Amino acid sequence: MNKNRCFWCSNNPIYIKYHDNEWGKPVYDDALLFEMLLLESFQAGLSWFTILQKRENFREAFDQFNVQKIAQYNENKLHELQQNNEIIKNKLKIKAAVTNAQAFTKIQHEFGKFATYLWAFTNNQIINNTNITPQNYFVITPLSDQIAKDLKKRGFKFMGSTTVYAYLQAIGIVNDHAQNCFIREQ
């Protein structure tokens, strides 16, 4: 049976799997929140499809997205990552992954969990946007502006408002599934 999916979801199995099983589902687990944050920061300026194709390579290269380990990466590890042809080899993004891991762990220490910090921006509520179409589709909002500004103040890199909005969609704080998408109808 053919299912109606969001307009951005092509017939590619990688996109379909991501859309149907992950995108827009609320995430409260810090490990997955960090994984998605790291991936979104590498996506800046690239297609999400590129990141999804390389996701397992990122997982292997970045110690299963272990935030504690990544926060401790040294210059040798950074150099190793910059030579890895299986990931995005952008030197600034690789360095930002370490900086962001350090900032992420500081938030965990301050709030107990990164999820507590992040979900507090919406009072633990999911934002359900309506009438999502290719013509009526957000890429930034006042919420993403606010969170990006706070993340920047806390030392995060490559987490501007557009990246933060994509992150909020991915982790389910924002539900931007199209009205006719089978996921919204569940």
Active site residues: 18, 40, 48
pLDDT(98) > 90? yes
- Between 72 and 1, the higher pLDDT residue: 72
Average pLDDT over residues 40-66: 95
CB 130 within 8 A of CB 139: no
Q: Whole-number mean pLDDT of the chain?
A: 95
pLDDT(43) > 80? yes
Which among 141, 138, 147 is positioned nearest to 33, based on CA atoms?
147
* Mean pLDDT lowest among 18-22, 115-119, 182-186: 182-186
* Mean pLDDT lowest among 59-68, 84-93, 124-133, 166-175: 124-133
Give residue 186's pLDDT. 65
Report, in this order, helix, strand and coil percent for the chain, each rounded to 5: 55, 0, 40
Q: Two tokens at 83?
A: 């030579």
For residue range 130-162, list pLDDT tens digits in order: 888 777 888 999 999 999 999 999 999 999 999
CB 58 within 8 A of CB 74: no
Q: How far apart are CA 38 and CA 59, in angstroms?
A: 10
Give residue 15's pLDDT. 93
Give residue 184's pLDDT. 82
CA distances from 130 to 78, 83, 102, 186 (A): 42, 44, 36, 15
The burial class, CB within 10 Å (0-12 / 13-18 / 19+), for 11 is: exposed
pLDDT(107) > 90? yes
Average pLDDT over residues 61-87: 98
pTM for the full model? Answer: 0.95
Q: How many helices (H) and strands (E) does the chain have?
A: 9, 2
